[in-house]
Amino acid sequence: MPHCSRTRILLASLALATAVLPHAAIAQTYDVDLKTALNGLPVEVETVPMSGVLVVRITNTGSIKVRCDLRYNASPQPIGRAHVYVEPGKTEEDAYRAKRKWFDVAVEVTCEASDK
């Protein structure tokens, strides 16, 4: 088999694998328990669970900037913490990546007005 043909077959196989991969990566393999403390702010919080990563999407529908503190508990993985600033009318995301196998993830999101 000529070198050129092997290269074409390899590239075609790689393209096929790449096309299938995003669909497999979206599969959720764990439960998400979301708890929010929005302190009366017009903020929407949603989770986008995927295999190996959890994305928390925060939308500020109000007229003031907010700071949201996130706490992730995905035992046996260490507790993760993050904070996200969301401008009025904007959406921000935070991603928490698996370092070990998850079965469930508890996420606590606390938002308050920010002057920063």
User: Which CATH number do you get for residue 73?
Assistant: 2.60.40.1180
- Residue 21 within any structural domain of the chain: no
Distances (CA, A) of 70 to 37, 52, 95: 11, 18, 10
Residue 91 is predicted with a pLDDT of 98
Residue 76 is predicted with a pLDDT of 87
Q: According to the 3-state scheme, what is the secondary structure of the chain?
A: CCHHHHHHHHHHHHHHHHHHHHHHHCCCCCEEEEEEECCCCCEEEEEEEECCEEEEEEEECCCCCEEEEEEEECCCCCCEEEEEEECCCCEEEEEEECCCCCCEEEEEEEEEECCC
- Residue 48 within any structural domain of the chain: yes
- Residue 56 within any structural domain of the chain: yes
pLDDT in tens, the chain (116 residues): 454 555 455 445 545 444 444 444 455 578 999 999 999 999 999 999 888 899 999 999 999 999 999 999 998 889 999 999 999 999 999 999 988 888 899 999 999 999 87
Residue 23 is predicted with a pLDDT of 42
Total domains in the chain come to: 1
Please give the residue range of the domain that contains residue 56: 27-113
Q: Is the dihedral of CA 44, 109, 71, 83 positive or negative?
A: positive
